[in-house]
Amino acid sequence: MLLRHTDDKIIERSALTINPAKTCQPIGAMYAALGIHRCLPHSHGSQGCCAYHRSALTRHYKEPVMAGTSSFTEGASVFGGQANLLEAINNIFTIYKPDVIAVHTTCLSETIGDDIAQISSKAQEEGKIPPGKYVIRASTPSYVGSHVTGFGNMVKGMVEGFSAASDTLENQINVIPGYVEPSDMAEIKRILNEMQIKAVVFPDTSEVLNTPQTGKYEMYPKGGTTIPELRSTGRSRRTFALGQIASGPAAKLLDTKCKVPCTLLNLPIGLRNTDIFLESLRQQTGAGVPDSLRLERGQLLDVITDMHQYLYGKKVALVGDPDHLVALTQFLKDLDMDVRHVVTGTPGKKFVTRIQEITGPKVNAFEAKDMFHFHQLIKQERVDLILGNTYAKYIARDEDIPLVRMGFPIYDRIGHQYFPLVGYRGALRLLEKMLSALMDRQDRDAAEESFELVM
Ligand code: SF4
């Protein structure tokens, strides 16, 4: 009973977080930056921040995650980090030769007020940025927002740094896939390919954070959105932003900066959200939905129909990132499951309304809350299944409730890098994971006389 001190009585807390249900903005910014081909993320702050952010991503993806740091010491903390960042930009382009350095700030550099735009201009004036190379930036103070807002800010930084308006449009669309796994980004590209739609997907961490073992270390793997692709996003016909918190800010900026209209959608997790994604693509581009995708949809629908009895009425608690939770809640509701508790650590006032629009008002939905609060809700009303990241395993163990891992971070299982949760295939995988968890529990708890071979 690791969490035996968690009490079911909820007392309002305003100045204390116990086991946060989110992590630092720079982690999201670093992850997004890795979705640019030949990009080295750079953390403008102390070495400790950078080491933590790299290790969080490395543990989740089981891949080495590289990033530079401005290595603040006492001097930089008092007088500002300009000298450190100028030297870092020079060193990184000279030694590691990336095409892009993506600078994100940290709590410390934000608090002392370092102006990254001004420092980047100075680096340009002093010739520290070689021709054809770029420095982009994002403001990511961790005392506001979460890793999801950090991701959104860095994707917005890509639009600020690369997208250029033009009167001549390309016959292509932009897709901002949201804070999803490399496998999800690959699946979104596969769906677009099946529909024969030319698209720039950015960022794109597929084949960056799920690379094959070749025996040779590649500092810049072959995946990632290229600079020409990023520059062309201002000439696309429309942007599809998947996940409002992670992808919305960049899509809206593309609209105001380059007049590329945008469609904001939920992450395509589950049958209905994937249907909406495909239908929007079809309507806006005129592309048809091929038989291959209709087959996948039909297979998903078949499994939902066959296994409905094992899902119907099952109480579920969800903890994670807001874009995921909105899409997942819709999927679970469509499966006739009973979503009881939905908690995100990311702040965002519309979150609760969006969940309640799907479930009705009786759900316990909270934004900007912690794992302790989530545990208290489960203590007040027990559920049959928990969906959440690795940190939810402590609650699942103490309460003896099956856990399906999803979201970020997942430190103690593999699969998320390689098998998507988005699209019809992803929904099938999620369904299989939930059914396995519920049916394993049914087997474990069954009395001998009702322990069935065929369930
Ligand atoms: S919370 Fe702030 S100081 Fe702490 S690791 Fe994150 S960015 Fe660094």
**Distance separating alpha carbons of residues 397 and 150, to the nearest angstrom:** 31
For the sheet with 315-320, list strands across it. 364-366, 338-344, 315-320, 385-388, 403-405
24, 149, 154: which to mutate for ligand 1, most atoms within 8 A of CB? Answer: 24
The CB of 17 under 6 Å from ligand 1? The reply is: no
User: Which tokens sit at 252?
Assistant: 């809206």
Nearest protein Cα to ligand 1, atom 4: 49
Report the DSSP pairing between strands 199-201 and 315-320: unpaired
User: Which tokens sit at 269?
Assistant: 């997790």
**Distance separating alpha carbons of residues 9 and 16, to the nearest angstrom:** 16
Instruction: Give the 3-state secondary structure of residue 321.
Output: coil
**Distance separating alpha carbons of residues 125 and 142, to the nearest angstrom:** 30
pLDDT of residue 349: 87
Containing H/E element for 39? strand 39-44
User: Which tokens sit at 104?
Assistant: 């994100």
How many CA atoms lie within 13 Å of 89's alpha carbon, on the beta-carbon side?
Answer: 29
49, 53, 54, 111: which to mutate for ligand 1, most atoms within 8 A of CB? Answer: 49
Domains of the chain with bracketed CATH: 25-162 (3.40.50.1980), 173-290 (3.40.50.1980), 292-449 (3.40.50.1980)
Nearest protein Cα to ligand 1, atom 5: 49
How many CA atoms lie within 13 Å of 248's alpha carbon, on the beta-carbon side?
Answer: 12
Distance 106 CA to ligand 1 centre (A): 6
**Contact between 324 and 410 (Cβ < 8 Å):** no
For the sheet with 134-138, list strands across it. 68-69, 39-44, 100-105, 134-138
pLDDT of residue 455: 86
105, 106, 108, 154: which to mutate for ligand 1, most atoms within 8 A of CB? Answer: 106
pLDDT of residue 26: 98
The CB of 26 under 6 Å from ligand 1? The reply is: yes
Q: Which residue has the tokens 């909270």?
A: 366
**Contact between 417 and 209 (Cβ < 8 Å):** yes
Report the DSSP pairing between strands 338-344 and 364-366: parallel
Kindly give the confidence (pLDDT) of every residue in the chain, 455 residues in length, as a single tens digit, with 9 standing for 90 and above. Answer: 789 899 999 999 989 999 999 999 999 999 999 999 999 999 999 999 999 999 999 999 999 999 999 999 999 999 999 999 999 999 999 999 999 999 999 999 999 999 999 999 999 999 999 999 999 999 999 999 999 999 999 999 999 999 999 999 999 999 999 999 999 999 999 999 999 999 999 999 999 999 999 999 999 999 999 999 999 999 999 999 999 999 999 999 999 999 999 999 999 999 999 999 999 999 999 999 999 999 999 999 999 999 999 999 999 999 999 999 999 999 999 999 999 999 999 999 899 999 999 999 999 999 999 999 999 999 999 999 999 999 999 999 999 999 999 999 999 999 999 999 999 999 999 999 999 999 999 999 999 999 999 98
The CB of 20 under 6 Å from ligand 1? The reply is: no
The CB of 141 under 6 Å from ligand 1? The reply is: no
Nearest protein Cα to ligand 1, atom 8: 49
pLDDT of residue 60: 98
pLDDT of residue 49: 97
Buried b (16+ CB within 10 A) or exposed e, 378-405: bbeeebbbbbbbbbbbbbbebbebbbbb
The CB of 107 under 6 Å from ligand 1? The reply is: yes
> Which candidate, 406, 342, 344, places its Cα nearest to that of 370?
344
**Contact between 313 and 340 (Cβ < 8 Å):** no
The CB of 142 under 6 Å from ligand 1? The reply is: yes
Nearest protein Cα to ligand 1, atom 7: 106
Distance 387 CA to ligand 1 centre (A): 27
Distance 142 CA to ligand 1 centre (A): 6
pLDDT of residue 390: 98
Nearest-atom index, ligand 1, CA of 107: 2
Instruction: Give the 3-state secondary structure of residue 60.
Output: helix
69, 72, 140, 142: which to mutate for ligand 1, most atoms within 8 A of CB? Answer: 142
30, 47, 52: which to mutate for ligand 1, most atoms within 8 A of CB? Answer: 52
| 91: region left, alpha or beta (phi > 0 left; psi from -120 to 50 alpha) | alpha
Distance 86 CA to ligand 1 centre (A): 22
At 168-179, the pLDDT tens digits run: 999 999 999 999
**Phi, psi dihedrals of residue 26, rounded to the nearest 5°:** -60, -25
pLDDT of residue 2: 85
Nearest protein Cα to ligand 1, atom 6: 24
**Distance separating alpha carbons of residues 399 and 394, to the nearest angstrom:** 9
